[in-house]
Amino acid sequence: MQEVTSLVRAFYGSRRSTLSPTDLRSIGPICTAIEAHNPKRALLLCDQLLKRSPAFPSALGLKALALCIASHPLSASARNDIAKVVDTAKMASKGAALDDAEVLMLLTWALRFAGKGDEALDLMAKAVQNNPDNEELANDAFVQYLRIDDCKSAQQIAMKMSKQFQDERYLWWSVLTTILQIRNLNHPQGPLLLSIAERLLASHYANKPGATSYATANEFHIVSRVLELRAQYSNSTEPPSRPNSTAKPSSSSPSLSNPIALPTLPPTEPPRSARRALLDHFASAEADKRCDENLGFEIWRRDVEFDYGSVGGGEWKRLWDRLATGLREKGDTNWHSMLYMIRAACAVASSSATSLEGPSATEAPSPVGIALLEETRQLLRTLSNESPKSKVERGYLLGLLEVARELRIRQWPEADKLDTLVAEYFDRFGTKACCFDDLLPYIDALSPQELASLRSTLSAATDVSLTDIRIATKAINAWKLLRRYAPPGSAGEEHEAALAFTRLYFEALPLGANLPPTELQPADDFALLAGQAWVAAYQTSRSRAYLESALALSEHILQKSKYKYQVRILAINLLRQLGASSISLAHYRIFGVKNVQFDTLSHLILARGSTYAITAPKEAGVVPEAASVMAWYGSGQREAREMSVRTFMNDAFTKVEDFYEFRQHLENSLQQGLATVETLRMSLLSGTLDAEAIETASIRLAKYVELGDDALVDHRDYKTLPNYQSREGQPIWVQSELGPRPDVNWLRILASAYRRFLQPSSADMQGSNVPTSCTEMEQRFVAFSRDAHLALIADLEGAGEREQAALAFFRDQVDKFATLTDDDTMLQWDVLHCAAVSLEVRLSTALELRLRQRTEDYRFQAFVLLEVGIDRRSEEMILQKTPEQVGLCHHATTLLEELTCHLPAQSKHAKRLRAFRNAARDAVKPIGPKLTAYGKRVAKERAKIVAALAHLQQFEPLDENRLTNFAHALVDSRKSSADALGLAFSRKTAK
């Protein structure tokens, strides 16, 4: 365990300066043994050392740590031993071990690892209480509270430290930990905690009479955040919450308008409201100074003025004046500045702030607001025509487009024609690669007549000779826009469009002939357009030849532009659809995904990755990738906790909430939940589920079953593959991914299904609708899990009917599989998905139990998912036996044999479950030979693929030899996937 290694290294390093050479030599071998994950030797050395020195704190801490790695999962005896070590540490030498911050860290970590988090907190609190003058111990306690996200305890101890040690730093720690508690505006004690933070600030600045500024940017940030939270919690207004807040305040929250004197807020009569205090704070000279020094503060001020301002208060007009001055006199080219200037003008015109996510139609605008919008338009027009930066700065013209779009959506009088501005922007900046993305929101607002007019402008840009990179880029943008706003074509039309884009690709390819290998070819997007056109042709015709054409071209592109990730992602998706898992994994590994990219990009191969969990012996599969992802979530969350702690230790107070939010998002990642379920499915199929994994899976599944719709955060990146399909049809991601996109509903329903097998007696049988994010096979599996669960827990009289309902699933799967293999329009992933789900239900980990000397010895081997439920149910029934009966069946080698030893009723249940298991095996067995036959059919498709790709031979680089090699590689990978799964099916269903 990496965390244990880090702990023991840090502990030994700290002991160098506190222990005598003799004592340091005595703990050295123990630390080495723990670091080498040799708990037996570590425990032996600890016992020897404690025999000589029973109260030696370092030995007690190391023994607790060694017990944590003594067994996997942690046994009940190990948990008891850890508790005994901690009790010894409390009593030995009057609790001297609790005076040592480093030893205390080991003891509390061990308690949390043993599932005794409350005891760890009590131990820490007792140590601090017994040593009120030990600043180092208090600091360590604060850090440990932060690590476990106990902000309440951290805030309390920081407040005590501030009073005890008179260090201003601890005051800011206390306020910040209060902010972390109440930033979610649903906190039941939010107003009370906020009032405590106010008193701390008031008391702090009361000792600095006459102060008109803040000593540091950290102080300004903390005070600003407290004032913002006061305004958010105040029931005098309920503005939109900040992006880093997760809810709106309750209308029942008490008013927080008590006067508070700060350097930027001298006392007034009557006292300011919470909202007014926040606005006046950001309107102060100190705020001007801080915002000039820090763009982050300036953007924050704009948000506050926009969200809390009003026409009467003049905040929106002052915001507009300040931003207009920056553009006019200071050469500000920040798009955020232009956008907020436009929003401020719209707010003045409508007398209300409008969400940046998209305005809606409002009442007639005020004359003052219309005049301000006209002044905004004239300013942007002047800058777009006369500014020295206008030839390269797109923001001015985009600002004009934004003004025109706002006027149109709000149904206010339009000053400029939106389609004319779009054409002007395309004419001036069409040579920039970003032109397509820039124009999308504005073209979406055009009428059909305006779109028809725009098409003629765009068509003119496509009828050119591609002799220059700028001309080629403009033509690519024009083709993207034309394709985006054209109706979906027939398969033949899309195929012809793809060929045309391919011709343009090869025509423009010489433009990048002299570029280094690390650069992208200017012509690449022509090929990406061709690939998406072929995907669209497949959606209409269901002919795999179109997908194979897109892949053949993609392989050629990636030889020229190794780092064109959009093409590689499209290739990964299409290869997975066609069943060529090994090639798709090779492409994925080229990305070198690491760190937080696991959370955003691992869905590329983990989304329903269990379909390809079984591979040929010498072929790398998706299972190691899944293991890497899950390992990173563990290490990444530990690192996130440490980064959050370091923001306090390094006085980076402006970053505290950012890192805290990052930590929360990582711990509540949707992709982690999806990866957990997929990893479990892979373990079932590959037969690698061990004792620790099955217990861990049970705990995690129980958590996911109870999830709310907003409990997890989705960080999966689907913008990496741009959509150039018609806006009237499906986007490219939907067309190229494996089935409906898994979401939190998918996670919840699948977690419930698996939990019925892993924990039959405690599984929730409440019926819920199967979400549309499940494939047809997954919907069948969920229904089967309910029937099988009822069969597992049924009594003898009602078991027969339940078992037949469950067995019907296997018979239906056999029929469905036969239908899929006979349908030439079906993708190979559909076929393998059906087989994998059937095998997944059939395959899993069979728990064998032997009782030796009255102790449990668990061994796992690959068998059936149904048998997981059978074995888990058998185990539950064994545990219902009386203590005198447990452990007497020394000859029993399986749970079912153990179950038959004593009670007649249990013996009958064992026979019933055994018959149920055998019937399921016999029912699903026919899929194995059919899958093997399917693999042989795939092997014969090489010539068919080459013939289907004959139209590509008109392009010289894609000659017959290259296409033949491509077809052989594709077929070999597809055949390997089918053969591996077929072999596993036959092996696992054999008697």
Examine residue 779 and state whether it is found in any structural domain, yes or no. yes
Higher-confidence residue of 689 and 240: namely: 689
Does residue 689 carry a pLDDT above 90?
Answer: no
pTM listed for this prediction: 0.89
Tell me the torsion sign for CA atoms 348, 351, 356, 362: negative
Does residue 283 carry a pLDDT above 50?
Answer: yes
825-848 mean pLDDT: 76
Q: What is the DSSP letter of 954?
A: G
679-693 mean pLDDT: 81
Do 662 and 801 fall within a single domain? Answer: no
What CA–CA distance (Å, rounded) separates 87 from 631?
33
Do 792 and 894 fall within a single domain? Answer: yes
Contact status, residue 336 vs residue 367, Cβ threshold 8 Å:
no
For the stretch 974-984, pLDDT in tens is: 999 999 999 88
Examine residue 343 and state whether it is found in any structural domain, yes or no. no
What CA–CA distance (Å, rounded) separates 247 from 249?
7
CA 199 to chain centre: 38
153-179 mean pLDDT: 95
In three-state secondary structure terms, 659 is helix
Does residue 906 carry a pLDDT above 50?
Answer: yes
Does residue 788 carry a pLDDT above 80?
Answer: yes
Q: What is the DSSP letter of 856?
A: E
Q: Percentage of the chain with pLDDT > 90?
A: 62
Predicted confidence at residue 795, as pLDDT, reads 77
Do 710 and 810 fall within a single domain? Answer: no
For the stretch 419-437, pLDDT in tens is: 999 999 999 999 999 999 9
Reduced 3-state DSSP string for 595-650: CCHHHHHCHHHHCCHHHHCCCCCCCCCCHHHHHHHHHHHHHHHHHHHHHHHHHHHC
Euclidean distance between the first and final Cα of the chain, in Å?
A: 39
Predicted confidence at residue 897, as pLDDT, reads 52
Q: Count how many domains the chain has.
A: 2
Last residue of a domain, one of 719, 754, 773: 773
515-536 mean pLDDT: 95
For the stretch 924-981, pLDDT in tens is: 889 989 999 999 999 999 999 999 999 999 999 999 999 999 999 999 999 999 999 9
Predicted confidence at residue 16, as pLDDT, reads 86
Predicted confidence at residue 252, as pLDDT, reads 39
Q: What is the DSSP letter of 93?
A: G
For the stretch 625-635, pLDDT in tens is: 999 999 999 88
Higher-confidence residue of 856 and 676: namely: 676
6-18 mean pLDDT: 87
Q: How many CB atoms lie within 10 A of CB 294?
A: 15
Do 782 and 666 fall within a single domain? Answer: no
265 bridge partner residues: 262
Largest CA distance in the chain: 96
Does residue 802 carry a pLDDT above 60?
Answer: yes
Does residue 249 carry a pLDDT above 80?
Answer: no
In three-state secondary structure terms, 864 is coil
Q: Which of 237, 186, 287 is nearest to 710 (CA)?
A: 186
Higher-confidence residue of 530 and 842: namely: 530
For the stretch 469-507, pLDDT in tens is: 999 999 999 999 999 999 999 999 999 999 999 999 999
244-273 mean pLDDT: 64
Backbone angles phi, psi at 411, to 5 degrees: 60, 40
Predicted confidence at residue 440, as pLDDT, reads 96
74-96 mean pLDDT: 84
What CA–CA distance (Å, rounded) separates 878 from 860?
18
CA 593 to chain centre: 14
For the stretch 594-611, pLDDT in tens is: 999 999 999 999 999 999
Higher-confidence residue of 384 and 114: namely: 384
Do 609 and 757 fall within a single domain? Answer: yes
Higher-confidence residue of 620 and 461: namely: 461
Average pLDDT of the chain? 87
Do 778 and 753 fall within a single domain? Answer: no
Examine residue 294 and state whether it is found in any structural domain, yes or no. no
Predicted confidence at residue 765, as pLDDT, reads 57
pLDDT tier at 649, thresholds 50, 70, 90: very high
Do 834 and 935 fall within a single domain? Answer: yes
In three-state secondary structure terms, 5 is helix
Residue 910 sits at the vertex; the CA angle it makes with 909 and 914, to the nearest 5 degrees, is 115
Examine residue 919 and state whether it is found in any structural domain, yes or no. yes
Q: Which two tokens stand for residue 272?
A: 């300011």
Higher-confidence residue of 97 and 857: namely: 97
Predicted confidence at residue 78, as pLDDT, reads 87
Q: Where are the alpha helices (DSSP H) in 650-775?
A: 656-667, 670-686, 691-705, 732-736, 744-758
Q: Which of 774, 772, 769, 811 is nearest to 786 (CA)?
A: 769
298-320 mean pLDDT: 95
For the stretch 809-833, pLDDT in tens is: 989 999 999 999 999 899 999 999 9
Domain span including residue 873: 774-988
What CA–CA distance (Å, rounded) separates 346 from 348?
5
Q: Which two tokens stand for residue 88?
A: 């010894």
- For residue 895, the number of C-alpha atoms closer than 13 Å in the C-beta half-sphere is 23
Examine residue 178 and state whether it is found in any structural domain, yes or no. no
CA 47 to chain centre: 44
Predicted confidence at residue 242, as pLDDT, reads 42
pLDDT tier at 186, thresholds 50, 70, 90: confident
Residue 785 sits at the vertex; the CA angle it makes with 573 and 751, to the nearest 5 degrees, is 55
Predicted confidence at residue 874, as pLDDT, reads 60
Does residue 243 carry a pLDDT above 70?
Answer: no
What CA–CA distance (Å, rounded) separates 418 from 871?
68
Examine residue 22 and state whether it is found in any structural domain, yes or no. no
Do 829 and 857 fall within a single domain? Answer: yes
Do 703 and 837 fall within a single domain? Answer: no
Predicted confidence at residue 354, as pLDDT, reads 65
* Least trusted range by pLDDT, from 254-263, 339-348, 773-782: 254-263
Q: Where are the alpha helices (DSSP H) in 252-294?
A: 274-282, 285-293
pLDDT tier at 860, thresholds 50, 70, 90: very low
Do 704 and 673 fall within a single domain? Answer: yes
pLDDT tier at 251, thresholds 50, 70, 90: very low
Q: How many CB atoms lie within 10 A of CB 381?
A: 17
Do 662 and 808 fall within a single domain? Answer: no
Predicted confidence at residue 786, as pLDDT, reads 87
Do 663 and 634 fall within a single domain? Answer: yes
* Cα–Cα separations (whole angstroms), residue 873 to 584, 756, 775, 906: 39, 10, 28, 11
What CA–CA distance (Å, rounded) separates 810 from 926?
10
pLDDT tier at 845, thresholds 50, 70, 90: very low
CA 356 to chain centre: 24
Predicted confidence at residue 819, as pLDDT, reads 94
Predicted confidence at residue 871, as pLDDT, reads 61
Examine residue 411 and state whether it is found in any structural domain, yes or no. no
* Cα–Cα separations (whole angstroms), residue 40 to 12, 65, 78: 19, 12, 12
* Least trusted range by pLDDT, from 58-67, 254-263, 571-580: 254-263
Does residue 880 carry a pLDDT above 80?
Answer: no
Does residue 201 carry a pLDDT above 90?
Answer: yes
Does residue 39 carry a pLDDT above 70?
Answer: yes
Q: How many CB atoms lie within 10 A of CB 93?
A: 13
Examine residue 107 and state whether it is found in any structural domain, yes or no. no
- For residue 940, the number of C-alpha atoms closer than 13 Å in the C-beta half-sphere is 5
Predicted confidence at residue 152, as pLDDT, reads 92
